[in-house]
Amino acid sequence: MRERRVERALAVLTAALLVVSAGAVVATPGDSAEVGQTLSFDAPVPSEYNFAPPPQAGSVTVDDQRYDTLDAALDAATAGDTLRVFGTVEGPVTVDTAGVTITGSAPSKAVITGDGEETVLTVNASNVTIRNVWVRNAGYSTADNDAAVWLDGANPTVASVRVTNTTFGIWVDGATSATVRDSTIVGRESIDRLSDRGNGIQLWEAHDAVVANNTITDVRDGIYFSWSSSVVARNNTMWDLRYGVHYMYSDDNRLANNTAFNNDVGYALMLSDRLTIVNNTAVNNTGSSGHGILVKSIDHTRIAGNNLVGNDNGLFVYNSLDNTIAGNLVLGNDVGIHLTAGSVRERGYGNSFIRNGNAMKAVIGKQVAWNASDGGNYWADANTVDIDHDGISDVRYQAASVLDRITRRHPTTEVFASSPAFDTVRLASRSVPLVETPGVVDHHPLATPPHDNWRRYYE
């Protein structure tokens, strides 16, 4: 009852302020966006690939013995042999000999091509290396998991490989200690629905793997984890996908220094525990979901040092507990962070919330403190007061005020949300709240942003 009375009083106050302050100008923080200024992001990869046609029919050598087909060369090979591919050879083929290397001088000059049916190159043996070849024309069936490369032996390595015209790119099927690095995976853009495509790199029960320096586009999800653990995925670039990276039931993994842009979701973390998500970039991930990082049923995870820029939601946290959200740049998103479904035990500090349409949307049932004692976060729309010049505001900040609750409960009041009067009440209530309302409170907001280079995204 008390809260309803306060809301009614605030509604009356807001209406009065609208009348007396119609011509007022409310001071806004210096980090507010300028009119007409838009985000700028130089993608680290071209927007599309234009590969030259593959070379003509070729051959394979083993110990200087030449074979017309890769199958024949594999039949002749023994452990430790290197099979050198020249030109284009036909698949599908299966590798059952341990310790062999299949390589070319460059992917453009060494091609293993399928016929549009099934998987092109299946590796059933251990310690096999695939390097500097182009694998193309896998089957179209997602139900049968048609892939360009299928790894089903321990310690496989795929390096500097080009994969095109495929459903799944590289499927790691229970293989331990796999390495997939420095490779390019391009799916089938002609298949319009992303859900009808396969994933770029599929990790199923793939433990102790390394996935590094790959570029992935035109598939469903760039890197998909299922029941996989102790995997390091670093320096990968993913775009024009459903999810750049997708975790499901995969604990104790590290995701570092990756870039995901122009996807529906940059990084989708689901139903996993003890992840380390650090120093990644998520830019312009918009669409039906539209999250830079989606956190769903994730616990005991560290999300730190990431750049979340120009997404619908920079970070969306659903039904997740005991996570640390630290040192992230949350810039130019429609909503900086959206907390919901009981996500009330998060620790947040050192984050910079700048130029977001709404820095924080907290749909939770109680008031929680992100930082009860330490230095907090920088909120561009906070009314900071730093009397002792220690860089920490002397007044608290509540990311969602009573007025924000009013607009959620009564959408018709949204028309006044950007008015000078509303801003006046909002700024006051965030620093000196009239009633303790559910949401996130920062007891020690920072006076200046920890990320002093954020303007590079507008240059």
Q: Which helix (H) or strand (E) holds 267?
A: strand 265-273
Share in percent of the chain as helix, strand, coil (round to 5): 15, 35, 50
Q: Which helix (H) or strand (E) holds 425?
A: helix 420-431
Locate the DSSP E strands across 174-228: 179-181, 184-186, 201-204, 210-212, 215-217, 221-226
Please, what is the angle between helix 402-409 and helix 420-431, to 10°?
Answer: 130
Q: What is the dihedral of CA 183, 189, 192, 193, to 10 degrees?
A: -10
Q: How far apart are CA 121 and CA 112, in angstroms?
A: 8
Q: What is the pLDDT of residue 400?
A: 63
Concatenated DSSP letters for 278-314?
Answer: ES-EEES--SSS-EEEEEEEEES-EEES-EEES-SEE
Question: How far apart (Å, rounded) are the C-alpha atoms in residues 314 and 292?
Answer: 5
**CA–CA separation, 443 vs 431, rounded Å?**
10
Question: What confidence score (pLDDT) does residue 416 get?
Answer: 52
Beta-strand relationship, 129-131 and 101-103: parallel
Identify any residues that bridge with 211 across adjacent strands, giving them in sequence order.
180, 233
Q: Phi/psi at 11 (nearest 5 deg)?
A: -60, -45
C-alpha dist (Å) from residue 312 to 32, 238, 329, 356: 18, 18, 15, 10
The pLDDT value recorded for residue 38 is: 82
**What tens digit of pLDDT does each residue of 55-85 get?**
999 999 999 999 999 999 999 999 999 999 9
- Asked if residues 396 and 371 have their Cβ atoms less than 8 Å apart, the reply is no
pLDDT digits (tens, 9 = 90+) for 34-51: 544 788 888 878 766 789
Cα 300 from Cα 189, distance rounded (Å): 37
User: How far is 291 from 337, CA to CA, in rounded Å?
Assistant: 10
Residue 228: the pLDDT is 98
User: What is d(CA 165, CA 185) in angstroms, rounded to the nearest whole number?
Assistant: 9
Residue by residue, pLDDT tens for the chain (459 residues) are 444 544 444 444 344 333 333 333 333 344 554 544 788 888 878 766 789 999 999 999 999 999 999 999 999 999 999 999 999 999 999 999 999 999 999 999 999 999 999 999 999 999 999 999 999 999 999 999 999 999 999 999 999 999 999 999 999 999 999 999 999 999 999 999 999 999 999 999 999 999 999 999 999 999 999 999 999 999 999 999 999 999 999 999 999 999 999 999 999 999 999 999 999 999 999 988 999 999 999 999 999 999 999 999 999 999 999 999 999 999 999 999 999 999 999 999 999 999 999 999 999 988 998 886 678 999 999 888 888 888 898 888 987 644 455 444 555 655 555 556 555 555 555 555 545 678 899 999 999 999 999 999 998
Q: What is the pLDDT of residue 404?
A: 53
- Sheet arrangement for strand 221-226: 93-95, 121-123, 147-151, 168-173, 201-204, 221-226, 243-248, 265-273, 291-299, 313-318, 335-340, 358-363
Supply the DSSP string of 358-379, one letter for each residue.
Answer: EEEEEE-SSEEEEESSS---EE
